[in-house]
Amino acid sequence: MNRDHEASAGEVFAAFLKLGLTSFGGPVAHLGYFRDEFVGRRGWVDDRGYSDLVALSQFLPGPSSSQVGIALGVTRAGLPGALAAWLGFTLPSALLMVLFAFGMVHLAGGVDDGWLGGLKVVAVAVVARAVWIMARQLCPDRPRVALAVVAAVAVLAWPDAPGQMLAIVMGGVLGWLLLGGGTEEPPSSLGIAVSRRTAVLLLALFVLLLAALPVAAKLTGSLPLALVDSFYRSGALVFGGGHVILPLLQAEVVPPGWVHRDIFMAGYGAAQAVPGPLLTFSAYLGAMIDPRMGGWPAAALCLVAVFLPSFLLVIGVLPFWDVLRRHDKAQSAMAGVNAAVVGLLLAALYDPVWTSAIHGPADFALAVAAFAVLTWWKAPPWLVVIACGFAGAVMGAL
């Protein structure tokens, strides 16, 4: 790490705000933007150090690009830098998603509008593309393909959040037992300025909240506590990035009736058109959940709750990462988890994404066209989202 010229939290915020306004294309693209900005242009970290932080984000549950941003912020300007990096990268898309929610409430004629159908169809293309890319990267051999298939079947048979958690745990255990792992490259020192005592306290708080929030929400019957519990748990258990949180959030907010499934899918489609992390989708959900606490307060509550686990885990694990990543078995377990994630996303592609969006040949044709344009023509996701919304409106009018 290059810490010769440390930045202030304000400088970190400004750097990440630029990326929050311009970083389209999802987590893989975000990591490319980060590398160009902080390795190539600013020299905050070298290539090996940056690779170490990316590896950490893959090891932990949570949104990978946001976690790399938090890690870059804390290595550059300490704990205030972590907060500044997250705010700069997250606020633009969060504000846009809340404004979209207000538009849904005040301007939409109903969930059957053609443009809304187009947004749901583009979600099919986006998730299918994510499955395609992740399967090629994370399931390169037959054992991991088998793990992905078993995980998909398990989640389809038990589609609630416990079934998804079981699939992830199963993937880790089978990876630990069956898969080879490890690397011969010697690890480099990250030089993180976080004490082990602080790290242990943050990890303990992560576990305490994960255990205590469901109990507190049930005992009090409080809607705000129930929201914090649901979104915190989703953020704490998602492996593989923002797309993978789709089934977890859907299982949390749709069955209780907090958000209609069509409204959920429309927001997920709209989230593809904004820069920054996909998990700002949680701000949209918060704004839509309940008129009594809807709007900005609930949006902020859900947004903070879904990202809080990433703060606690990234900053808590960084001081121990050098030791942890030396173990071959830990890498094998993560290989199994990543394969299970592909299966979980494959199951989500069918339900709720496909079942809520594809109702006839025209919807299928639009989804195929969007997938092709995204995958082979490399069109910007925001442009594809707008085009599909327009196409849906035209099909609805006809």
Is residue 105 within 8 Å of 374, Cβ to Cβ?
no
- Give the distance from CA 302 to its chain's centroid: 14
251 burial class (0-12, 13-18, 19+ CB within 10 angstroms)? buried
Taking 50 as the threshold, does the pLDDT of residue 352 lie above it?
Answer: yes
Q: Give the mean model confidence (pLDDT) for residues 177-186.
A: 62
Where is average pLDDT lowest: 225-229, 317-321, 371-375?
317-321
* pLDDT band of 111, cuts 50, 70, 90: very low
Of the chain, the end-to-end C-alpha distance in Å amounts to 59
Token reading at 398: 């006809």
Enter the DSSP assignment of 111.
T
**Sign of torsion, CA 32 37 40 46?**
negative
Q: How far apart are CA 136 and CA 229, in angstroms?
A: 34
What pLDDT shows up at residue 239? 66
Question: Any residues with CB less than 8 A from the CB of 185 and at least 6 apart, and which?
Answer: none
Q: What is the predicted pLDDT for the residue at 67?
A: 94
In the chain, domain spans? 91-397
pLDDT band at 185 (very low <50, low <70, confident <90, very high): low
* Maximum alpha-carbon separation in the chain: 64
Residue 148 near residue 340, CB atoms below 8 Å: yes
Asked if 385 and 273 count as a contact pair (C-beta separation under 8 A), the reply is yes
Euclidean distance between CA atoms 43 and 47, whole angstroms: 9
Write down the pTM of the prediction. Answer: 0.73
Structure tokens of 265?
Answer: 């899918």
